[in-house]
Structure 1
Amino acid sequence: MSDIDTADPEIAPIKRPARWHILVFLAPAFLVYTAVMILPLIETLRLSLYNLVDNQTVFVGLSNFITLFSDPRLAANFWNALWNNLIFFVIHMLVQNPIGVALAAMLSVPKLRFATFYRTAIFVPTLLSFVIVGFIWKLILSPIWGIAPSMMDLVGLKWAFAPWLGRPESALITVSLISVWQYVGIPMMLIYAALLNIPEEVLEAAECDGITGWSQFWKIKLPLILPSIGIISILTFVGNFNAFDLVYTVQGALAGPDGSTDILGTLLYRTFFGFQNQMGDRSMGATIATVMFLIILAGVSLYLFVIQRRIRRYQF
């Protein structure tokens, strides 16, 4: 007879005690997150479906969205802000993230001297307040009292200096590069941690096959850190389409000159709260915020359900 047949039927299975303490520890964080994030999000989505008519809140369905895309002034401002946001994101993807990967690769070299100092120096700007960063760079790039003209004169490039923040064709690129300077330490540290987690036996096997140096990085390390690069890319996407603070600090709520640095965050601010002669419109501001949420949701969903599945095979 088998062990199952000879087992004592009176022996009851051991029941694990309920782990109620997990809920106790999760409750504070859940309540705070619900109050700060979930409830405001639900209220924003709800507010986008209502409008103020004769001092009364009336349900209007998708009328606010139709107005946003059909009204000449609102539509022009929205598409301009969306286009600027895309440029802002592309600059971060093409400049910030590759530089972060390159810095991480250099810092992961075992024999590099002062690696700790370099990591700290590059990461420190991410800890600074955006107000400080914006104000400092406005002073540096000022054509009147800034130090950029004199510093460029020392290397014979004073002729190339221009009031970059005051020109519509260069203001957005300049603000984007300031943001890159501040936040390049984040992708650098994430990629650096991913490189350190690569098993030594994989690298030793590559060296036995004669793959060393940068060839080892391109053929061995880079495919193994693709999941981390994917995470950095989606974090960059979410962060850039939620951007507001640095543009507001450097260029103000109008995001000048001539709206050349206007992004969805600054457009949302002016529309919701009003600015100067523009009256605030809560319903239209909530509509813009809802469109921003849908754009971010679409990007995150594309990454989770399409891109991540393709790069998952590189994970250990």
Structure 2
Amino acid sequence: MTAEAAPKRPFRWHIVVFLAPAVLVYTAIMIVPLFGTLQLALFRNAPGGQTFVGLDNFRTLFGDANWSRGFWNALWNNVWFFIIHMLVQNPVGILLAALLSSPKLRFSAFYRTAIFIPTILSFVIVGFAWKLILSPIWGVAPNLLDLVGLKSLFTPWLGKEEYALTALSLISVWQFVGIPMMLIYAALLSIPDEVIEAAECDGVTGMAQFWKIKLPLILPSIGIISILTFVANFNAFDLIYSAQGALAGPNYSTDILGTFLYRAFFGFQLQVGDRNMGAAIATMMFLIILAGVCLYLFLIQTRLRRYQF
């Protein structure tokens, strides 16, 4: 007597039907352009059309002084842009989330909304508005500083090479600090009440409770925020372009990889666009972001899993 074969599970076609539109759209606007960019980076214009040159475009990017100087300047500015966000935006977001999660704070919903509103504003609006605010001619910043007796501290921050990038980074922090605040706020609310009650029974309250109990439990969320900040900063373009233009002045002091890519690919003023070199720059941006994400996934996230519930 043979055992009856287990009934074969039917294939769930409804999963394919529901996923197909999203997969097709993602493939059309993300995967295909990505491989098209990688292909362009390996070719170069020739009299007979595009010709395969392998890694020559990357050798030009790193070896030719006209290209390498701009690339390394843009890369360093991008790194500094990211550092400002990591050292200012994320800690401030964590602090605001800790304050707003306190049950004793009144009007916390109003404060959360007010802090989050700038994140929904257009980059063009934010860049143009802050350029007007900080203008030494018609801006309100000099008058506001004069009201508190600090007008001597005012300087045209967007017009000086040593201050422009930091000023734009802080403007970006002001716009997007609401995102880490809301993510950390949600992580704090997800901590079980039993954990908090046990800490209070042990006499751990106030700031000690946050540092010793809550902070270790929200480390996975902080890790996610850090990698999202990294990806967003190395894809940045809009704020710099709207505030300083494609030349990212003064004297390329605010030039980042996004604006450098824009000028290389499309050309600007006297610079002729070169889509192959632009694709090489875009490929380097992709590799930098990929390296950062892989570093987080394989070295950091695995260590943070111990803190997850």
What TM-score does the superposition give when structure 1 sets the normalisation length? 0.96
Q: Deviations over 1:256-280 (max 9, x none)?
A: 0000000000000000000000000
Q: Deviations over 1:58-92 (max 9, x none)?
A: 00000000010000110000000000000000000
Aligned residue number for residue 147 of structure 1: 140
Aligned residue number for residue 215 of structure 1: 208
* Count, aligned residues: 309
Cα separation, 2, equivalents of 1:229 and 1:235: 10
Match of 1:290 among 269, 277, 283: 283
**Is 2:268 the partner of 1:308?**
no
Match of 1:271 among 261, 264, 267: 264
Matched position secondary structure for 2:51: strand
Cα separation, 2, equivalents of 1:198 and 1:250: 41
**Is 2:24 the partner of 1:31?**
yes
Matched position secondary structure for 1:57: strand
Deviation of the 1:26 alpha carbon: 0.6
Query: Which residues of 2 match residues 84-233 of structure 1 at below 5 A?
Result: 84-233=77-226
Aligned residue number for residue 4 of structure 1: none
Cα separation, 2, equivalents of 1:10 and 1:84: 69
Deviation of the 1:111 alpha carbon: 1.6
Query: Which residues of 2 match residues 37-56 of structure 1 at below 5 A?
Result: 37-56=30-49
Q: Deviations over 1:15-73 (max 9, x none)?
A: 33221011111111111100100000000001000000115100000000001000011
**Is 2:73 the partner of 1:80?**
yes
Cα separation, 1, equivalents of 2:213 and 2:84: 27
Cα separation, 2, equivalents of 1:170 and 1:233: 25
Deviation of the 1:14 alpha carbon: 3.4
Q: Deviations over 1:223-273 (max 9, x none)?
A: 000000000000000000000000000000000000000000000000000
**Is 2:252 the partner of 1:259?**
yes
Deviation of the 1:9 alpha carbon: 4.5
Matched position secondary structure for 2:271: coil
Q: Deviations over 1:189-235 (max 9, x none)?
A: 00000000001000100000000001000000000000000000000
Cα separation, 1, equivalents of 2:276 and 2:27: 22
Q: Deviations over 1:113-158 (max 9, x none)?
A: 0000000000000000101111110111111111111111111111
Distance 1:271-1:227 versus aligned 2 partners, 3 A rule: same
1:32 counterpart letter in structure 2? V
Q: Deviations over 1:272-295 (max 9, x none)?
A: 000000000000000000000000
Cα separation, 1, equivalents of 2:72 and 2:117: 35
Cα separation, 2, equivalents of 1:223 and 1:33: 36
Matched position secondary structure for 1:290: helix
Q: Larger Cα Rg: Structure 1 or Structure 2?
A: 1
1:176 counterpart letter in structure 2? S
Aligned residue number for residue 3 of structure 1: none
Matched position secondary structure for 1:119: helix
Cα separation, 2, equivalents of 1:71 and 1:54: 22
1:257 counterpart letter in structure 2? P
Q: Indicate the larger mover: 15-24 or 286-295.
A: 15-24
1:315 counterpart letter in structure 2? Q
2:89 counterpart letter in structure 1? Q
Cα separation, 2, equivalents of 1:312 and 1:36: 33
Aligned residue number for residue 65 of structure 1: 58
2:236 counterpart letter in structure 1? A
Aligned residue number for residue 244 of structure 1: 237
Cα separation, 2, equivalents of 1:170 and 1:258: 12
What TM-score does the superposition give when structure 2 sets the normalisation length? 0.98
